[in-house]
Structure 1
Amino acid sequence: MGAIVVFALGAFFCLWHRTNMLMVILGFLLIIVTVRAVDRAIHTKYVLTNDGVLKVKIGRIGKTTHIPLTDVKTIEKRPFAFRLGYYALIELMNGSVVSVQPDNVDSFMSALQKRIEKKDNEE
């Protein structure tokens, strides 16, 4: 959220002080970055399917990432910078990591843990 404010203020400053063409171009680029950041903040969805897949849809124009719950190695709750909030870090079996930022990190992690345990018990 803080980055969105910084980008918007930067765009406002560049378009207010349009002394040369570079400031105008930078202002419009910052507007594009701000719109993209707002889209990602508002329209990101996390869906747990019945077949054991976590679908992460990033924004309206972003791609969807499919994470099989059988590939999840660990799930950790980590703080943002200056402890302004928390996010969930999902480590996969192949060593890659995925960070997700749901509204309620604790309930998201508990639902994910329940689904993983359910999948382990079925196998």
Structure 2
Amino acid sequence: MNRIFHARIAAGQYLFLLIATAVTIHEMWMKHAVLTIIFMLLLIIAIERLIHTTYTLTADGRLILYFGRFTRSKEILLKDIISVERASSMKIGRFAVMRYVLVRYGTKGKCAVLLPVKEEMFIKTLTERLREEKPQV
């Protein structure tokens, strides 16, 4: 059975949307049509990507990272995953600027940074599927 997890929107992404909207309104106010159209397209792509980003664990042993219609999706075989861990960016005391799930895969040490809405459930489901995929000898 496929299991789909949606991505959450981080504070930096909200900030980007706010700044891009302000620039779009400013350029519209100043009657700069080309820049207005460029920033409107940028906003459409960014919003579409934020809304439609999903992480799918398939029944046939794959993790599919889908980033919306304008971006190519990425497939990771579960057998290639080395580790799954919760990580955070810069910490100030107990406060972390951003928390995310770090998935290490492949032979060359590739990493994927994921922002699932339900982190605990995503990590639990992924580790269970990894155990099923890689039986211990």
User: Same fold, TM exceeding 0.5?
Assistant: yes
Give deviations 1:22-75, integer Å, cap 9, x for gaps.
x43222211111111111111112111111100111112322211001111122
* CA separation of 1:50 and 1:36: change in aligned 2, threshold 3 A: same
CA distance in 1, matches of 2:72, 2:90: 26
| Deviates most, 70-79 or 106-115 | 70-79
Corresponding letter in the other structure for 1:86? R
- Count, aligned residues: 119
Q: Tell me what 1:30 maps to.
A: 39
Structure richer in strand, relative to its length: 2
Q: 2:63 aligns with which of 50, 54, 69?
A: 54
CA distance in 1, matches of 2:64, 2:136: 21
CA distance in 2, matches of 1:61, 1:54: 19
How far residue 89 of structure 1 moved from its aligned partner, in angstroms, is: 1.7
Which runs of 5 or more residues in structure 2 are unaligned? 1-13
Q: Tell me what 2:121 maps to.
A: 107
CA distance in 2, matches of 1:69, 1:118: 10
Corresponding letter in the other structure for 2:99? Y
Normalising by the residue count of structure 2, what TM-score does the alignment of the two structures yield? 0.75
Q: Spell out the pairing of 1:21-100 with structure 2 (5 A cutoff).
A: 23-79=32-88, 83=96, 85-93=98-106, 94-100=108-114
Q: 1:5 aligns with which of 18, 25, 31?
A: 18
Larger relative contact order, structure 1 or 2 (CA cutoff 8 Å, min sep 6): 2
Which runs of 5 or more residues in structure 1 are unaligned? none
SS in 2 for 1:15: helix
CA RMSD between the two structures: 2.1
How far residue 84 of structure 1 moved from its aligned partner, in angstroms, is: 5.1
2:129 matched to 1:120?
no
CA distance in 1, matches of 2:29, 2:58: 48
Normalising by the residue count of structure 1, what TM-score does the alignment of the two structures yield? 0.83
